[in-house]
C-alpha cells in the first residue's frame, strides 16, 4: 500500500441527530475525524493486519515516531485504538474492527459503522 493512497470511507449507519445528545454527536464526529486523515488511514490499514508498536507503525507510515505517537493519541482519545503494555513496548490495536481480505469495518460505540477499503 502506498502512503497517502486515496481511500473512501462510507457511512453505513444513520440515526436521526435529534435523537442523540450533543455530547454523543461530538464523540461520533471526533471518531470520524480521527479516521479521515491520511496518516491515520495508513495506521488503521496497518493495524488491520494485527497489533503493532509505534516504531513499527512509524516505519509503515514512513513517518517519525513522534508524529505517529501524536496520531495515535488522537485515535486513542476518539476510541479507535487501544494500547497494551508488552514488556517495555506499547502494542496498539484497533477497537471495534472486523476485517475481510478487501475491507475493514470500524464500529463506533453508538453503532455508526464505516468501511475502509484495504486494497
12 domain-assigned: no
CB contact at 8 A, 69 and 54: yes
Q: Compute the distance between CA of residue 21 and CA of residue 66 in angstroms, rounded to an integer.
A: 35
The more confident residue out of 106 and 6 is 106
CATH number for 100 = 1.10.10.10
pLDDT tens digit sequence for 5-28: 455 555 555 555 567 788 888 888
40 domain-assigned: yes
Instruction: Name the pLDDT band for 113 (thresholds 50, 70, 90).
Output: confident
pTM equals 0.80
Grid cell listed for 98: 472486523
16 domain-assigned: no
Structural domain that includes position 110: 21-117
For residue 2, the model assigns a pLDDT of 45
How many folded domains does the chain comprise? 1
Amino acid at each position: 500500500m502506498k502512503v497517502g493512497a486515496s481511500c473512501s470511507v462510507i457511512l453505513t449507519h444513520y440515526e436521526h441527530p435529534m435523537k442523540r445528545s450533543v455530547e454523543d454527536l461530538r464523540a461520533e464526529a471526533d471518531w470520524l475525524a480521527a479516521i479521515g486523515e491520511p496518516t491515520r488511514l495508513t495506521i488503521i490499514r496497518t493495524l488491520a493486519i494485527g497489533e503493532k508498536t509505534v516504531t513499527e507503525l512509524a516505519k509503515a507510515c514512513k513517518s517519525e515516531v513522534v508524529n505517529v505517537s501524536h496520531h495515535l493519541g488522537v485515535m486513542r482519545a476518539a476510541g479507535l485504538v487501544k494500547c497494551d503494555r508488552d514488556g517495555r513496548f506499547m502494542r496498539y490495536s484497533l477497537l471495534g474492527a472486523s476485517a475481510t481480505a478487501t475491507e475493514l469495518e470500524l464500529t463506533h460505540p453508538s453503532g455508526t459503522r464505516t468501511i475502509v477499503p484495504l486494497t
